Structure 1
Amino acid sequence: MPILNADLHCHSVVSDGTLTPEALAARAAANGVELWALTDHDEIGGQQRAMAAAHAHGMKYLTGTEISVTFASETVHIVGLGFDAEDPRMHEGLQATRGGRGARAQEMSAQLEKVGIRGAYEGALKYVGNPELISRTHFARFLVETGVCKDTSEVFRRYLTDGKPGFVPHRWASLKDAVRWISEAGGAAVIAHPARYRFTATEEYALFTEFKAHGGRGVEVVTGSHTAAEAMRYADTAREFGLAASRGSDFHSPDESHTDLGQLPFLPGELTPVWELLADRIR
């Protein structure tokens, strides 16, 4: 199998990134990416722009999104790749899971006001390309801009996480629904950055077991938030559950992301890359 510089996880201004799909495509191509996917949170409105930009820079493209689901009281992200971006069931499902973000954001702002941080909702909106997708990341940028915290890492140590001011849980889609939307639209569902979830070993095993049972097909092994040891661990998990392996930087912003587009280690050679399952979906 030839080595391929694929980056199948990143975000634009359509969700919580800071660059346009066109700027992301240019950055990916400049970094040697050969196969690219834009995976905005719960949104596929940037797909046609991303595909056109990818082709303009000589890259192959897979459609993508990152769907928020609730599993064992934890928010888990499922990346969908290679689906039909015009599928009505996908559009309806994503619209429904976006629906609770506005009310949640207002409640987050009210909590922050109680600890002396005023105007957070309006401040966060300045960073939002799509108001339907206002998120903790947009609030974090406001807290940095106003000097409450020096960077977004400090924000998530002091605010917006469980037990801290500004944290408001939201019930997302079910794991079954997210995998079904992706699969029925012709794509492959992938568990994103599994090392980030605060699961016990038993809960993680249940996640992978249920994901596989619902038709999930892959797991991110190499990603911007995984250490080398974690990549090895989830390579073993991919083999154990018969899942393909994916690779993606989870790039959001030149100023915030630790890993740039296309700059990850390559996948271990003994794994099946997820793009091999989607060869007929690559454009």
Structure 2
Amino acid sequence: MIRNADLHCHSIVSDGTLEPEALAARAAANGVDLWALTDHDEIAGQQRARAAAHANGMAYLTGTEISITFAETTVHIVGLGFDADDPALAAGLRATRGGREERAREMAAGLAAVGIADAFEGALKYVGNPELISRTHFARFLVETGVCADTSEVFRRFLVEDKPGFVPHRWASLSDAVRWITQAGGIAVIAHPGRYKLTPVQEDALFHEFKQHGGQALEVVTGSHTPAEYGIYADLALAHGLLASRGSDFHSPDESHIDLGTLPALPARLTPVWDALGSRVQYP
């Protein structure tokens, strides 16, 4: 019986600060018994994560978090329990990563225009995988150089819409992401829905289209949600007939508000996504 599942976190392979092995040890120390590493648009850390999970006595699910564009908003779709060797999934993720460097150079140019020089090179120092350079890496550079006190301040002042370093990116479509995951044998999950600035009509459309494309689950209990939002999205999962997922969205000991494995349990009225992934769970 799964008691403590954490199915959303990031390693240095994308925009986290810890190696997969360190994440696994931290999760196990906090009582996690089912874990998934869900690096952004990347599955290169999966073999290491699975081996580390098993070495620490945890069951493992393959994972990734795919960036998509929906209603002119960047939305994240987590994939769980897929075949990590699936060629169509690998090709789709590779294509999604492809536009990141060009976007990053445009961000650096915007920052240079307001007096912050060499931001692209500075951000690269924090990137474990250069294909996955992101706003988070720029934020760490601006904190290191004393421009801002913390990464939250960087985002507010420089990296959100209408600020100097913001550059939108056209990601994969919702149908693409769900298809890559499901055709590889996994289950697609809408990650941290409370984070998106969607109207109620847009959010309803997201859930309906997601289901139409074969999506099956919603992240209900997550480090990106408030306790009140746990209840809101539990109700919406039931209303839309979606399974429920749970994950800290942990990135770094110094930056994340919630540690691995420390979230409250899913509400009892929900069906956990791992119940539908029984055959895909990899046990030690």
Aligned to 1:159, the other structure's residue is in SS state helix
1:164 partnered with 2:163:
yes
Task: Give the whole-Å Cα distance in 2 for the aligned partners of 1:147 and 1:34.
Answer: 39
Task: Give the whole-Å Cα distance in 2 for the aligned partners of 1:61 and 1:211.
Answer: 25
Which position in structure 2 is the counterpart of 1:261? 260
TM-superposed CA distance for 1:242, in Å, is: 0.5
Kept in 2, the 8 Å contact 1:3–1:266? The answer is no
Task: Give the whole-Å Cα distance in 1 for the aligned partners of 2:162 and 2:235.
Answer: 33
Task: Give the whole-Å Cα distance in 1 for the aligned partners of 2:85 and 2:197.
Answer: 34
CA separation of 1:3 and 1:94: change in aligned 2, threshold 3 A:
closer
Q: How does 1:1-283 map to 2 (within 5 A)?
A: 4-283=3-282
One-letter amino acid matched to 1:145: E
TM-score by length of structure 2 reads: 0.99
One-letter amino acid matched to 1:278: L
Structure 1 unaligned segments of length 5 or more: list them: none
TM-superposed CA distance for 1:212, in Å, is: 0.6
Structure 2 unaligned segments of length 5 or more: list them: none
TM-superposed CA distance for 1:150, in Å, is: 0.3
TM-superposed CA distance for 1:4, in Å, is: 1.5
Task: Give the whole-Å Cα distance in 2 for the aligned partners of 1:205 and 1:243.
Answer: 13
One-letter amino acid matched to 1:93: G
Task: Give the whole-Å Cα distance in 2 for the aligned partners of 1:35 and 1:194.
Answer: 22
Which has the higher mean CA deviation after the structures are superposed, 172-181 or 151-160? 151-160
Task: Give the whole-Å Cα distance in 2 for the aligned partners of 1:232 and 1:63.
Answer: 27
TM-superposed CA distance for 1:3, in Å, is: 5.9
Question: Which contiguous aligned blocks of 4+ residues in structure 1 show a shift greater than 4 angstroms?
Answer: none
Aligned to 2:65, the other structure's residue is in SS state strand
Aligned residues: 282
Aligned to 1:121, the other structure's residue is in SS state helix
One-letter amino acid matched to 1:229: A
Aligned to 1:118, the other structure's residue is in SS state coil
TM-superposed CA distance for 1:156, in Å, is: 1.0
TM-score by length of structure 1 reads: 0.99
One-letter amino acid matched to 2:179: R
Kept in 1, the 8 Å contact 2:187–2:217? The answer is yes
One-letter amino acid matched to 1:187: G
Q: How far does the alpha carbon of each residue in 1:224-257 deviate from its partner, in whole angstroms, 9 at most, with x for none?
A: 0111110100001100111000000000000000
Which has the higher mean CA deviation after the structures are superposed, 2-11 or 199-208? 2-11
Task: Give the whole-Å Cα distance in 2 for the aligned partners of 1:3 and 1:12.
Answer: 23
Aligned to 2:159, the other structure's residue is in SS state coil
> Identity over the aligned pairs, expressed in percent?
76
Task: Give the whole-Å Cα distance in 1 for the aligned partners of 2:158 and 2:5.
Answer: 34
TM-superposed CA distance for 1:209, in Å, is: 0.5
One-letter amino acid matched to 1:251: F
TM-superposed CA distance for 1:35, in Å, is: 0.2
